[in-house]
Amino acid sequence: MDGTTQVITILILLLTMAVSVVVTQFIRRRRTLAALRPIAAYQAIPLRVGEAIEANRPLHVSFGHASLGGDNTLLALASAELFYQAAARAAIGAAPPILTMSDTTAIPLGQDTLRRAYQSRGLLERYPRGRVRWYPAGARSLAFAAVLTATLGDDRVASSVLVGSFGPEVALVAEAAARRDQGVIAASDQLAGQAVAFALSDEPLIGEEIFTAGAYLGESASQVGLVVTLDVLRLLLILAMLVPTAIAVGDAILDGRFSAAITRLLGGG
């Protein structure tokens, strides 16, 4: 990495930290002025949980093949936060939520997620340990998808939140849910799985939206601040990309006089 790249990297990091601190402090003081861009999946999750409670049927959430200690560790942690927010709402119902995974490292994460959800409601004595289920199947396993489709029917699931690592086999789960008139919210870190999730789920999550569950479903000002910061930085990045494009177009139209005029305005030669 050369000196120029290092300087640019440091400036970007400093800008990110500065915007994050300013936005977070602003939101803590004026929470009502913080407007997050709407994400349909996060608007739907509380409604799906409410429907599951009213129907006395469980909510099903799944990590898929996401694991701890591997390439998708951050994804597993982000999924756990989303599942915690959903399970904390579902904990007051008579039918406990179901957590499924296919990697053994996600078992303690799932257990802790469900335990914290019940603890947050003061219902730790009702914590259902048997609702965290590990099914031994590898990545992109049709066997794992088959087990999930059976779970949808055997446990009379109300809705499923499939956010983790899934391949195209997630189509089997989504199709089975559709046949049973069950809702599906899905997202995956795999391109093929995400394509299927976008096409078949009722409200898909896309890209970094997976990592914003705490801001949309929780009450943490710092997490809301981080999401707003990402949106601000995204806007600044778009503007930074548009400026040289506009200059190039102006030069093409005015035969180079556009950039020369800007240089003179900025005090150049």
Q: Would you say 188 and 194 are in contact if contact means Cβ atoms under 8 Å apart?
A: yes
Instruction: Say if 110 falls within a structural domain.
Output: yes
Residues 102 and 234 in one domain: no
Residues 252 and 137 in one domain: no
Residues 163 and 248 in one domain: no
Residues 177 and 257 in one domain: no
**Does 82 score more than 90 pLDDT?**
yes
Its pTM stands at 0.78
What local confidence, expressed as pLDDT, does residue 158 receive?
Answer: 94
Q: Which residue has the higher pLDDT, 222 or 165?
A: 165
CATH code where residue 78 lies: 3.40.50
What local confidence, expressed as pLDDT, does residue 166 receive?
Answer: 92
Instruction: Say if 3 falls within a structural domain.
Output: no
List the one residue out of 85, 75, 37 whose CA is nearest residue 224: 37
**Window from 131-135, 242-246, 258-262 with minimum mean pLDDT:** 258-262
* Per-residue pLDDT reduced to its tens digit, 151-201: 999 999 999 999 999 999 999 999 999 999 999 999 999 999 999 999 998
CA angle at 68 for the pair 154 and 59, rounded to the nearest 5°:
25
Residue 95, phi then psi, degrees to nearest 5: -100, 110
Looking at residue 193, its amino acid is G
* Per-residue pLDDT reduced to its tens digit, 107-126: 999 999 999 999 999 999 99
E-assigned strand segments in 174-232: 183-188
Residues 25 and 116 in one domain: no
Residues 19 and 96 in one domain: no
Residue numbers of the domain that contains 150: 40-204
The total number of structural domains in the chain stands at: 2
The string over 143-172, giving b where at least 16 C-beta atoms fall within 10 Å of a residue's C-beta and e elsewhere, is ebbbbbbebbeeeebbbbbbbbbbbbbbbb
Residues 157 and 67 in one domain: yes
Residues 151 and 172 in one domain: yes
